[in-house]
Each structure stands twice: as C-alpha cells, then as structure tokens.
Structure 1
Amino acid sequence: MSARQWLNEPVIWSDEGRNIRAVTDANTDFWRQTYYGVTLDSGHFYRQEVRGNFTTEVTLSGEYETMHDHSGLMLRVDEQNWLRAGIEYVDGTTHVSTVITREFSDWSMAPWPQYAGSLRIRLTRHETAVRVQCLDNDGSWKLVRLGYLNLPGTVQVGVMCCSPEREGFAASFSNFTIFD
C-alpha cells in the first residue's frame, strides 16, 4: 500500500493515522453528466493505492445541513470510473448514498433512519464487483449496493467529502482501515 495523498486537497484538514478530518472548500463534488449535464471532479479525496481485492471501513460523522453535503469512501480508477458511498444530505434528510460512475454517474440513495450522528460504512472489492454495506444499530452489516466497475489490479481507495452548495462542511472519518 502506498502513502495517502489528496486529490483536490482542502485548505483545512488533519490526519491522525486512522482518524481524518476535512473541511470542504466551496462548491466541491464528484459527478459526471447524468441528469444535471455537468462534470465535476473537484471533491476532496484522500487516497492511497491498493492492489487486488480488499475491504475498507470507516465511521463517518459530520455537520450535514446543506443540500448534497456528503462524505464517505471512494474507490477510483480515473476521472471517468469510480464509486463513492456514504452519507448525503438530501431534501432535509440524511441518506445512505452511492454513486457509481462508468463515464456517466448513476445515483442510488435511501433514507437511513438509524443515523444518530455517525455511521460505519464498508466497501469491499471482489475483482470487478464492489459491495457497499452499512453497520446497523443491531450490529449487523446491511447491503446497500452491489455494483460493477471494470477495475485494474491497482486502484485508489480512501475517504472523500464534498459540498456542492457551499463551503465549510466539516467531515470526520474515524477508524479508517483497509484489510487485504
């Protein structure tokens, strides 16, 4: 595994190993074309290279208060092929949100009534399949997305955050871990 580096480094951030904090710059996002007709690759992504199959987990928390504030995990090949999954604030409610991009972004989301200030999320690579799960209050992992990406042997993996409608969204990532 390689050392972590920023794609679009935010002005304010800290890294204490497994605990990371970032405050978003203005109008940041990851999105490609679908419905909105825009391509944005300005979100903050703190990543490292990982080879082969793996599982990564992190606990998310933040001040989700403006439309499309979001934070989570990201798996990225390049600007046209990636997945982001985590918490997103939409229509006044916190959702579990996943975007898979294969030249065009798709978006799936569901309200997460169990959200009480933090959420543990897991992303697992199985060759070209990517599985996203969230830890429920009863202690069990719930499947929220299973998707396909044409993945090379080595990909970029890490935490991400965005705030397309503002600046200053403070996101915290606790106990960030990658398992082989």
Structure 2
Amino acid sequence: MYDELEWRSPPPEWRVEGDRLTVITGKDTDFWNKTFYGFTRKDGHLFCREVEGDFSAEVVLHATFDTLYDQLGLMVRADDEHWLKTGLEYSDNQAQLSTVLTRDGWSDWATSVAPIEDVKAGLRIRLTRHGEVLRVQRQDRNGKWHLTRLGYLGLPSKTQVGLMCCSPERAGFRATFSDFQLGPAIPRDLHG
C-alpha cells in the first residue's frame, strides 16, 4: 500500500519495513490555520494519494511521546483551507486523541485523553468520508469501534488521503504506522 503514496513536504528520514512505516520528523513542522495561535503552518509531513469520493482509511499508530504537540495519524486534504487530521498528539503531559478540522482557512482542535493501554499496544484509528461528512473512530483492545468526531467538511470529489506526522516544537519525533488500509467507505450505520 505504501508504494501508492507520495510525500507532500517529505520528512528528513523515513523507511518502510513490511507493513510498518517509520518517519523521523523535520524541525517545527505542523498543519494549523490561524485559530487562537494566530499563525498558519502547512509544512507537516503527509504521505498520501488522491482518492475519488467516499473512503475509509485505517492505521495503527505507535509512538513514544515526550515533547508538546508531537503527533501522528490520518489526514484528508482538499487544499490548504479545507482538511482534517486526526490521531495521537502529546498535550498536557499525555497522549491525546486529537482531531483538527479546518474549514475556510480556520482550524478547530478537539482532544480527549487516549487510553494509555491502547497507546502502548498501538492505537487503531479510522477516518471515513460519507459525502461531505467525516467520521473519526478509534478501536479499543476488544475490537469495538468508538466515535470520536463527526463533522461537516465540504469537499470536492477528489481529495488527498494518507498518513500525517508533525513535531511543531522540535525535530526528530519518531512516528511509526502499521497496517495502513485505504478502501471503500464502511456502511453509514452510526450506532451499530
């Protein structure tokens, strides 16, 4: 699957071994637009491909966190003004489930504490597009999916979808992804 992806803002170092992608981030990289902090950054690392229409993307995230805002996860991007990134992010001295939804050039940020056992074992997340709605889920150790975000983002028929990582406060964050899957959207059943 990784051979179908291309880098937007390539990292200084990356490698694929079997189903694992390991990335070492560049200095002060991020995706963020204006809100609260007043700056815009679009130099985070995104390993992606173009997708037409609805999709579901899944991946298992592995990282050891120690620096504020280190992050890794999934991203869907229409352009610099319309995108969503979601995954694990280090904030308030712990790994957080994080989603940033950017509409019309303004980002919002939603977080919740990630279960530490799931973070240590590798956290599986899923991002699904159903038309103009994006659904973010995480899977627990028993295989059950939990909704973490449902949001509107008017998207064109073609978008970029893939793996993202950033380190806004430093260089050298090691982000590891495994079992990346990208295919047709799961059913729309929300409470099943």
When the two structures are superposed, what TM-score results if normalisation uses the length of structure 1?
0.96
**1:115 maps to 2:118:** yes
Q: 2:69 — aligned with what?
A: 68
**1:100 maps to 2:101:** yes
Q: How does 1:7-156 map to 2 (within 5 A)?
A: 7-16=8-17, 18-102=19-103, 103-113=105-115, 114-117=117-120, 118-156=122-160
Which structure dedicates a bigger proportion of its chain to helix?
2
**1:172 maps to 2:176:** yes
Tell me the amino acid that sits aligned with residue 60 of structure 2.
Answer: T
1:9-30: CA deviations, max 9, x gaps? 0110013474211100100000
1:78-137: CA deviations, max 9, x gaps? 111100000000010111000000110000000012434210000000000000000012
Partners in 2 of 1:136 and 1:171 — Cα distance?
20
Q: Which runs of 5+ in 1 are unaligned?
A: none
Partners in 1 of 2:98 and 2:168 — Cα distance?
15
After TM superposition, give the deviation of residue 147 of structure 1 in Å.
Answer: 0.6
Q: After the TM superposition, which of the residue ranges 27-36 and 131-140 deviates more from structure 2?
A: 131-140
When the two structures are superposed, what TM-score results if normalisation uses the length of structure 2?
0.90
Partners in 1 of 2:35 and 2:19 — Cα distance?
34
Partners in 2 of 1:143 and 1:160 — Cα distance?
20
| Residues 138 and 146 in structure 2, CA contact (< 8 A), matched pair in contact too | yes
| Residues 62 and 119 in structure 2, CA contact (< 8 A), matched pair in contact too | no
Q: After the TM superposition, which of the residue ranges 125-134 and 108-117 deviates more from structure 2?
A: 108-117
Residue identity over aligned pairs, in percent, reads 47
Q: 2:189 — aligned with what?
A: none
When the two chains are superposed, the root-mean-square deviation of aligned CA atoms in Å is 1.5
Partners in 2 of 1:74 and 1:52 — Cα distance?
15
Partners in 2 of 1:105 and 1:4 — Cα distance?
25
Number of aligned positions between the proteins: 180
Partners in 2 of 1:39 and 1:111 — Cα distance?
26
Q: Secondary structure at the match of 1:115?
A: helix
Tell me the amino acid that sits aligned with residue 75 of structure 1.
Answer: V
Partners in 2 of 1:177 and 1:17 — Cα distance?
14
After TM superposition, give the deviation of residue 3 of structure 1 in Å.
Answer: 3.1
Tell me the amino acid that sits aligned with residue 15 of structure 2.
Answer: S
